[in-house]
Chains A and B, each alone.
Chain A
């Protein structure tokens, strides 16, 4: 199973969050996109990670992924999400369970 696939459910879910809640153009969202290239400042990135955590019902430990760290890509975020949810997630949400307003 490839986690880096742009068609993976995890990637699609975070892309939807970026597009819907953070108004990032879909064309600017790819697995290779660095978080720092999304046009979001550090506060918005923290808000984004919160939204992702709520959507996937998990917590991403900061030592695994600090969103402010340079060079972290959406692919890396997907990998961390999938690793954190393995064993607990019987059904990965294709869409965020609930995207907070």
Chain B
């Protein structure tokens, strides 16, 4: 073969790899709506919200009443490889990742761990621990711990995951607020497609339900007040009377893997693939989302998946239920998809988990593919009259034959991340 022809073959092979779907070999999650697929599905498809009212009393300040979504999770039950104390979020990350690896039946003794990566997102990482330790330092004059830095650093979870799994490939923390875990997942897709690694444990977390962190969110005026008679309905995405989000906590993990690696280890069929990903930045404002940036991101993700807008049967919107956020997203979805594609928004039931949100919401989209059903937007009685979209309202909607679902994550700082997931049999 001439060197020109060889180059052409290599280029064609690289192009195929660059757009190849990446297998989802396992899932694990700790969320306010449950830790098992059964519990998660029950709440998801019934539109049952885990949001509750919580009083926040801080000395010298008016009592705040906040809408929060907490996980039933005992962080002290998680044993870290380092034997060091864990931030609650890191403990959730470790538990979720262990569940995902178990489902994928990853045998750490036999896989090449030089090619096992950790790609993990968190928006505020150890802020909860830093809040409680500094509060104890100033209040009760209790010393900082020798390991405080290691517990609160943004890559604390990445470090614990890499230690736990003995991962020796790329191990990177992604911090882009609400899009952190979506970006982590997408960048892992790229690393697998590019041949840098074979398999990755990916996802994200945040655990922010400590007084200082909650008060910070409250001060930003983006949190919904919990209605006295129905606190679980605080977050109402795309509703005319939407009033912001409920702050959530949790972690979600996926095992991503190349088809070749899965075949070589005899992993069997997987139900889902990630088919496309795109990320960009609005470059316009630190909080105000920009429709143009979101449109570019969604179109780029469809191109990356090699599909058209009409191939997508479901969108799990970012849907924060803020006034500006939902308006921008409704407009961007309308521009890319018209009114054809049904839209759900699951933050209404599990809260805004920030760095963990993208991963949890992608899992919700995967469950929609698995069940061939679309989750309703909880608490959505009357959509904003300005939004001309097909919202899934009231009850779950049947979606027989659905092939692709798309999950949006749009962050403070302007980072947009869009992931297209598909049923494995469609490729």
Contacts and interface: CB of A to CB of B under 8 A. Distances in A.
Contacts of B85: 21, 47, 100-101
Interface in B117-176: 129, 132, 136, 142-143, 145-147, 150
Interface stretch (A7-15, A36-44, A81-89): A36-44
Given A20-B76, A101-B76, A47 B84 contact: yes
Contacts of B82: 41, 44
B55 interface: no
Interface in B47-101: 75-76, 79-80, 82-85, 88
Given A23-B83, A39-B83, A40-B83, A47 B147 contact: yes
Contacts of A20: 76
A60 B143 CA distance: 14
Contacts of A22: 83
B83 A41 contact: yes
A46 B83 contact: no
Give the residue among A20, A44, A54, A101 with the most B Cβ atoms within 10 A: A101
Interface in B222-266: none
A50 B83 contact: no
Contacts of B79: 23
Interface in A18-45: 20-24, 39-41, 43-44
Contacts, number: 41
Contact of B145 (A24, A40, A41, A47): A47
A50 B84 CA distance: 12
A100 B83 CA distance: 15
Nearest to A50: B145
Contacts of A43: 84, 146-147, 150
Contacts of B146: 43, 46-47, 50
A20 B83 CA distance: 11
B153 to A, nearest CB: 14
A21 B83 CA distance: 8
A22 B83 CA distance: 5
A67 B88 CA distance: 27
Interface in A38-91: 39-41, 43-44, 46-47, 50, 54
Given A23-B79, A101-B132, A44 B145 contact: no
Nearest to A38: B83
> Which secondary structure dominates chain A's binding surface?
helix
Nearest to A49: B146
A22 B76 CA distance: 10
A21 B91 CA distance: 13
Contacts of A47: 84-85, 145-147
A77 B42 CA distance: 52
A46 B84 CA distance: 10
Contacts of B136: 100
Nearest to B140: A98
B178 to A, nearest CB: 26
A22 B86 CA distance: 10
Nearest to B147: A47
A85 B103 CA distance: 50
A101 B145 CA distance: 11
**Which of B79, B82, B142, B146 has the largest number of chain A CB atoms within 10 A?**
B146
A25 B373 CA distance: 46
A96 B195 CA distance: 51
Contacts of B88: 101
B142 A54 contact: yes
A54 B143 CA distance: 9
Contacts of B143: 50, 54
13 contacts: A21-B85, A23-B80, A39-B83, A41-B82, A41-B83, A46-B146, A47-B84, A50-B145, A54-B142, A54-B143, A100-B136, A100-B142, A101-B76
Interface of B: 75-76, 79-80, 82-85, 88, 129, 132, 136, 142-143, 145-147, 150
Interface of A: 20-24, 39-41, 43-44, 46-47, 50, 54, 100-101
Given A23-B80, A43-B147, A50-B146, 20 more contacts: A21-B85, A24-B83, A43-B146, A43-B150, A44-B82, A44-B84, A46-B146, A47-B84, A47-B85, A47-B145, A47-B146, A47-B147, A50-B143, A50-B145, A54-B142, A100-B136, A100-B142, A101-B75, A101-B88, A101-B129
